[in-house]
């Protein structure tokens, strides 16, 4: 693999060590350094020498993807899990496509292929957006002569074909019976050392995502204010440094602070509160859910459930947002699915309705 280092002079040095060979070269432009490293890797894969390969410029869309990733890492903006997966998918399908061949028709073909593979309208819309981002980045930052016109036309066509669009808003809420069954199963029958039952209750109590639950540390737990600092909380506008203080409350049927105290009793007093990999928690949850025969209930639905219960408990939008971390009502609304029965119970008249005694004439 090639290593690119920015020198104090502002130039870029490329060093490559592969299959017993070594080569080094310095460039004034990073785009030339990246292109040179791509050519060196290609020559090595072909069994040829890597000494002084010629800079040929950017030829494929995959090279532009790699350039975009390298630039993001350099400015300390590493890819999130969703973007990383999307760019790897694009590289798989379009990485070898030569830049002049990335036409409207080719992008539409990609959209049809991804749709057949099961990609939904929102996923495909994100993919097209990333294609647009990679091309715009190459043109704006590195002066690559490219236009997004073909991608824009493809986006219009795919939207008219119904292949891209907004995601369907989920309104799945677990019933209390389903929650009770899940908790009982993980407390008594599941073959796992992870306290999945406690984690599920904590998710409904706080509205945290499974990755956030597994990231909080005891150092971030403030016993005086009964708040927890969630580091780098997910936000579409701020990927890093979005730390938020979340109150540990008891309004959803599960007491967040009591659950923390229970977890402290069963775990170490330092490090992470729930020292488990978020994906492992998700995998264990799905196995238990399927074992119980509960259909179409994702772990993320517990975040929806927490949000809805907080509103049903009477909290204002601003206070609910303090718990869930949402920045505006538009985003918060997507997570809210109030139970009409709860609303009726809150506002039903205390005395029998006089309408019941009125007879029609």
Q: Can you list the domains of the chain with their CATH numbers?
A: 1-57 (no CATH), 59-168 (1.10.150), 176-346 (1.10.443.10)
Mean pLDDT score across all residues of the chain: 84
Question: pLDDT tens for residues 100-112?
Answer: 899 999 999 999 9
For residues 296-331, one letter each, b for 16 or more C-beta atoms within 10 angstroms of the residue's C-beta and e for the rest, the string is ebebebbbbbbbbbbbbbebeeebbbbbbbbeeeee
- CA torsion 260-265-267-272 (nearest 10°) is 30
Average pLDDT (150-159) is 95
Residue 336 vs residue 11, higher pLDDT = 11
Report pLDDT for 267: 84
Residue 30 · residue 2 · CB < 8 Å: no
**pTM score, whole prediction:** 0.63
Question: pLDDT tens for residues 160-186?
Answer: 999 998 766 677 889 999 999 999 999
| DSSP per residue, 210-272 | HHHHTT-BGGGEETTTTEEEETT---TT--SS--EEEE----SSS-HHHHHHHHHHHS-SSSB
For residues 8-41, one letter each, b for 16 or more C-beta atoms within 10 angstroms of the residue's C-beta and e for the rest, the string is eeeebebebeeeeeebebebeebbbbbbbbbbbb
Does residue 187 have a pLDDT over 80?
yes
Token pair 């029965």 is found at 341
Span between the terminal Cα atoms of the chain, in Å: 89
CA distances from 339 to 173, 181, 207 (A): 9, 21, 17
Residues in the chain: 361
Average pLDDT (140-167) is 89
Secondary structure element (H or E) that encloses residue 27, with its range: strand 21-27
Residue 37 vs residue 57, higher pLDDT = 37
Average pLDDT (204-213) is 94
């Amino acid at each position: 693999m090639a290593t690119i280092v920015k020198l104090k002079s502002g130039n870029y040095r490329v060093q490559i060590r592969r299959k017993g060979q070594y080569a080094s070269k310095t460039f004034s432009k990073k785009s030339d350094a990246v292109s040179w490293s791509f050519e060196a890797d290609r020559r090595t894969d072909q069994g040829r020498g890597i000494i002084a390969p010629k800079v040929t410029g950017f030829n494929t869309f995959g090279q532009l993807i790699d350039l975009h990733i390298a630039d993001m890492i350099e400015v300390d903006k590493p890819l999130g899990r969703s973007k990383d997966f999307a760019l790897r998918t694009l590289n798989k399908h379009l990485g070898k496509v030569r830049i002049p061949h990335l036409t409207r028709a080719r992008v539409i073909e990609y959209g049809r292929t991804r749709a057949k593979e099961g990609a939904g309208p929102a996923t495909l819309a994100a993919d097209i957006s990333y294609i647009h981002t990679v091309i715009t980045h190459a043109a704006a930052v590195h002066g690559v002569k490219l236009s997004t016109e073909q991608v824009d036309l493809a986006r219009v066509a795919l939207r008219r074909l119904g292949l891209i669009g907004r995601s369907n808003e989920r309104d799945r809420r677990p019933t209390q019976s389903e929650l009770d069954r899940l908790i009982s199963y993980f407390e008594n029958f599941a073959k796992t050392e992870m306290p999945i039952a406690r984690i599920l209750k904590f998710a409904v109590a706080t509205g945290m995502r499974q990755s956030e639950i597994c990231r909080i540390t005891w150092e971030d737990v403030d016993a005086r204010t009964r708040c927890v600092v969630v580091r780098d909380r997910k936000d579409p506008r701020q990927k890093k440094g979005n730390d938020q203080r979340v109150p540990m409350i008891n309004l959803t049927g599960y007491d967040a602070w009591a659950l923390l105290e229970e977890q402290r009793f069963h775990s170490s007093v330092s490090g992470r509160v729930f020292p488990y990999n978020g994906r492992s928690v998700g995998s264990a949850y799905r196995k238990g859910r399927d074992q119980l025969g509960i259909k179409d209930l994702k772990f993320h639905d517990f975040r929806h459930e927490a949000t809805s219960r907080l509103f049903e408990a009477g909290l204002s939008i601003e206070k609910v947002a303090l718990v869930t971390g949402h920045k505006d009502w538009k985003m918060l609304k997507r997570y809210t699915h109030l139970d009409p029965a709860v609303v009726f119970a809150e506002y039903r008249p205390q005395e029998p309705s006089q309408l019941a005694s009125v007879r029609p004439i």
